[in-house]
Amino acid sequence: MNFFAEAIRWIFDPAHYGSYDGVDVRTLQHVLISLAVVAAAAVIAIPLGYLVGHTGRGRGVAVAFSGGIRALPTLGLLILIALGIGIGLEAPFIALVVLAIPSILAGAYSGFEAIDRHTIDAARAVGMTEWQVVGRVEIPLGLPLLIGGLRLAALQVIATATLADYVGGGGLGLYLFRGLKTNDYPQMLAGSIIVIALAIGSEIVFGILQRLVVPAGVVAGQSPQLRVKSSGFRATTG
Amino acid sequence: MTWVLGNLQLIGQLVLAHLATALPAIVLSFLLSIPVGWVANRFHWSRGFVLTVCALLYAIPSLPLFLVLPLFIGTSIRDSINVTISLTIYGLALMARSTADGLESVDADVTQSATAMGFSGWSRFWRVDLPLAGPVLLAGLRVVSVSTISLTTVGAVLGIGSLGSLFTDGFQRNIPEEILTGIVLTIAIAILIDLALVALGRVLMPWTRVKHASASVDRDLSRLAMA
């Protein structure tokens, strides 16, 4: 655990602040890259997911697409793009957007699908137009699962943005790769710890958000969760 | 194709290294998920606790974990065992949820009937509960196997041999064909193992078709952290 203490000292060493390679600059870079990637992926994936979820069409394609992308190794994609368009931020940005799309897409359409069909029929029965059904029923009720998808995407992007600096894209990967080259374990560990902290921070923020976006009407109507399954008889079976 | 044909031996070695790193992680996460899923499903309090721990483990980024893990288990940074153990942790984090959900989905009437017929708790678990939870387990395992095969490539940036080595080597020597080979082979292995799992499921669970189960995993993933 000596390395661990050294890594913490490394993170708070004033010498590692202020320059382009400084902890402050790199952490900010890492956060901004991740935010931009998730935002770009959301702009593409949310409308598509809503379309699939609302119409029920193209579901098979969306599921197959999400599954297929999961098999695509992001590192390979990132490097291949980097060889094509040159090193820098563009290649990791594109590769990370591709990585983030399936989770958000799945969150968007499954959020719509999880809604009780009776609720949507009722919305139509009281005279809502199709747009009102989407905007005032499906979107609010699907929000918790959508945020769940965004949360997963953010987690994957923060973790994988570490690879961006492999092709000169900036971010916290610098410390991992530089430390590896010079056998500087505290530096590698310092970079790792900051990335892990960012990931946990993102989880906490999205976790809170996920609870906040549950519509008030849903919370009020919720019965306390009961387990349908009895567990009493198990005692007699040993 | 010229690059591929001239380097068949290297490619073969890397495919083997890739499988040797990824397959144990997939198998281990499945096996470990059975007791963990059982515990999660057994008591009222344990479900939330176990699933929250899993969500936290899943939140640790992979590349940093490859680097931090040697500190705890005393291996060298370039040892492929770090990747196997890290990927087992991720696989278990995803799989435990599927197993818990699968066991929960078993109809209470069925388990009670089994008990009434004289099954002991132990044999009922293995011969009634687990087979009936099978389709949900299979759906989870398919997601775990695909993401494990894909994540194994990341170890290459640390010099741990796998198909990812074709990415780093192709980047340094500027051979796009080499990188493309790595991507295609990684996806091919993921698809082959997925097909093998589906076939295995058909053989072991002839009473069911697993058509709908895999789709619900996407929703489960979004819900992963809501526990």
- Taking 90 as the threshold, does the pLDDT of residue A12 lie above it? no
What is the identity of the amino acid at B58?
Y
Q: Does residue A49 belong to the interface with chain B, where contact is any CB pair within 8 Å?
A: no
Choose the CATH number for A35-172 among 3.90.226.10, 2.160.10.10, 1.10.3720.10, 1.10.630.10. 1.10.3720.10
Q: Do A148 and B147 touch (CB under 8 A)?
A: no
Residue B81 has which token pair? 């065992």
- Taking 70 as the threshold, does the pLDDT of residue A115 lie above it? yes
Portion 137-156 of B in contact with A at CB < 8 A: 143, 146-147, 149-151, 153-154, 156
Sorted by where each starts, the structural domains of chain B and their CATH numbers stand as 2-226 (1.10.3720.10)
Q: Do B218 and A3 touch (CB under 8 A)?
A: no
Q: Work out the minimum CA distance from B111 to partner chain A, whole angstroms.
A: 10
Q: Helix count (H) and strand count (E) of chain B?
A: 11, 0
Of A151, A192, A210, the CB nearest to B67: A192
Q: Does residue B60 belong to the interface with chain A, where contact is any CB pair within 8 Å?
A: yes
- Quote the CA–CA distance of B60 and A192 in Å, as a whole number: 10
With tokens 């996460």, the residue in question is B29
Which pTM does this prediction carry?
0.83
Residue A223 has which token pair? 């019965």
Q: Does residue B120 belong to the interface with chain A, where contact is any CB pair within 8 Å?
A: yes
- Taking 90 as the threshold, does the pLDDT of residue A183 lie above it? no
Confidence bin at A229 (pLDDT 50/70/90): very low
Of B59, B124, B153, the CB nearest to A200: B59
In a structure prediction context, what are the per-residue pLDDT tens digits for chain B, which is 227 residues long? 788 888 888 899 999 999 999 999 999 999 999 999 888 888 878 888 888 888 888 888 888 888 888 888 888 888 888 899 999 999 999 898 889 888 888 888 998 999 999 898 888 889 888 888 888 899 899 989 998 999 999 989 888 889 999 999 999 898 889 999 999 999 999 999 999 999 998 888 887 654 555 545 655 565 554 44
Residue A126 has which token pair? 């009281």
Mean pLDDT of chain A: 85
What does the longest C-alpha to C-alpha distance in chain A come to?
Answer: 68
Q: What is the pLDDT of residue A220?
A: 60
- Taking 50 as the threshold, does the pLDDT of residue A81 lie above it? yes
Judge residue A200's burial from the number of C-beta atoms within 10 Å of its C-beta, 0-12 exposed, 13-18 middle, 19 or more buried. middle
For chain B, the straight-line distance linking the first and the last C-alpha, in angstroms and rounded, comes to 49
Judge whether A147 and A138 are in contact, CB under 8 Å.
no
Q: Does residue A104 belong to the interface with chain B, where contact is any CB pair within 8 Å?
A: no
Q: Do B222 and A82 touch (CB under 8 A)?
A: no
Q: Where are the domains positioned within chain A?
A: 35-172
Judge whether A162 and B154 are in contact, CB under 8 Å.
no
